Amino acid sequence: MHREIRDHIEDVLRGGDTLQAAREHLAQCDECRSEVLGMQEQMELIRELRAPEDFAADLRPNFYARVMERIEAEGPISIWNLFIESAFGRRIAVASLALALLIGVYVVTSERSAEDAAIALQSPQLSTEQIIVAGEDAPAREITRVDQSQTDQSSEDAVLANLVTYREQ
Amino acid sequence: MDASITTLPFPEVVGEGTRARTRVDHKTSEEAALVRRVQAQDEMAFREVVERYQSKVFSIIFGILRNRNDAEDIAQQVFAKVYFSIKNFDFRSSLLTWIYKITVNECYDYLRKKRVRKLVYESDFSQEDAQRMEASDPAVDTSVPADTRLAQRDLILKLLSKVSAEERSLILLKEVEGHSVQELAGMTGLNENTIKVKLFRTRQKLLRAAGRLTRTS
């Protein structure tokens, strides 16, 4: 928009005693004319937001009492209201709870594995390999598998020996 | 439109004499004494504020939302905010201007919470309401169909959401309440030239927002 119009835009929009220079400029400048028309249309639309004249007559009595009830119910605004009332605050609270839960799970599980290791060290029935199993993950599994295959083999031998004994009788 | 134009300063069209004439001292008025009583937790003074401005607040809310059911609820919220925030009132503007801004902000909070701005009127504003409004308001142009007017209102509310709270209040005070630039200067404590610049920039922002909305739809 050109200066001739911009400097007097409120007068131009009001449509009152517009300056001669502004009127002449509007008559020959398409750009300014179209912008002024757009602003006038918006002005009319904004004026649609006026309430009817008699609207206030519909007010229910004792409005002040209801305002005071609300004030007493709400109490002074505290920093906690930001967390409770806003969506962002609620998200932060949920994220914090989830994080606390994760930390809790991690702490509990790591404590449990430490306890298992301690029990394994104290137990006389366990072999040295099994004690290592409780303390260290990777080699432990291999040793356990070896132990298990050895146990399976010896129990199979025992069953075969029993069958042989049975047939001999 | 060239965006750089909007950043150009307005010429100093208002002299010192005009500025002195429009400047209102909000610290020494009768209203200021009332505010100080409220700030000192005088309940009778707060009651006076509520009774003095309740009709105005109701009509601002109803004008924007056209929803009678929620108007009282929002009005209560406005006065609760006034009660809790009045200690921060700095007397730079009139009390009404301050309450007006709170009211408009509350209306926009309400619209934001609804998150279905397009459907607000379809769901809450019945045909009966529309007819009642037309009957009670001689200013309403009955030649325009009710649904067209509702769509236009929806559009302007959307556009007004694209400008700042201060700009929104200012343009509403100018166009809806019908205050002159000089009156606005007195109400806000700003000089007339600043008011003109702010109004012009707001109008340009609204035009640009309307252009963007038209292009995307």
Query: Coil, strand, or helix at residue B144?
Result: coil
Q: Say whether pLDDT at A161 is over 90.
A: no
Output the pLDDT for position B46. Answer: 95
**Least confident piece of the model among A55-59, A73-77, B60-64:** A55-59
Among B58, B64, B207, select the one facing A35 at the smallest CB separation. Answer: B207
Residue A158 placed within a domain: yes
CB atoms within 10 A of CB B49: 21
Output the pLDDT for position B99. Answer: 95
* Mean predicted lDDT score pLDDT of chain B: 79
Q: How confident is the model at residue A118 (pLDDT cuts 50, 70, 90)?
A: confident
Residue A50 placed within a domain: yes
B19 touches chain A (CB under 8 A): no
Q: Per the structure, how many domains does chain A have?
A: 2
Reading the block at residue B16, the tokens are: 């010192």
- How far is Cα A14 from Cα A40, in angstroms, rounded to an integer? 9
| More confident site: B86 or A14 | B86
If one looks up domain B6-135+145-216 in CATH, what number appears? 1.10.1740.10
Closest chain B C-alpha to A40 CA, distance in angstroms: 10
| pLDDT, tens only, B50-97 | 999 999 999 999 999 888 888 899 999 999 999 999 998 988 889 999
Reading the block at residue A164, the tokens are: 């042989």
Domain boundary among A34, A54, A74: A54
Residue A159 placed within a domain: yes
B47 touches chain A (CB under 8 A): yes
Answer whether 0.80 is exceeded by the pTM: no
> 């029990």: which residue's tokens?
A119
Distances (CA, A) of B85 to A7, A50, A57, A75, B78: 37, 27, 28, 12, 10
| pLDDT, tens only, B169-213 | 999 999 999 999 999 999 998 999 999 999 999 999 999 999 888
Domain segments of chain B: what residues? 6-135+145-216
Its domain, for residue A7, covers: 3-54
Residue A87 placed within a domain: no
Residue A86 placed within a domain: no
Domain boundary among A54, A79, A96: A54
Residue A20 placed within a domain: yes
Residues from chain A that touch B136, judged by Cβ atoms under 8 A, are 52-55
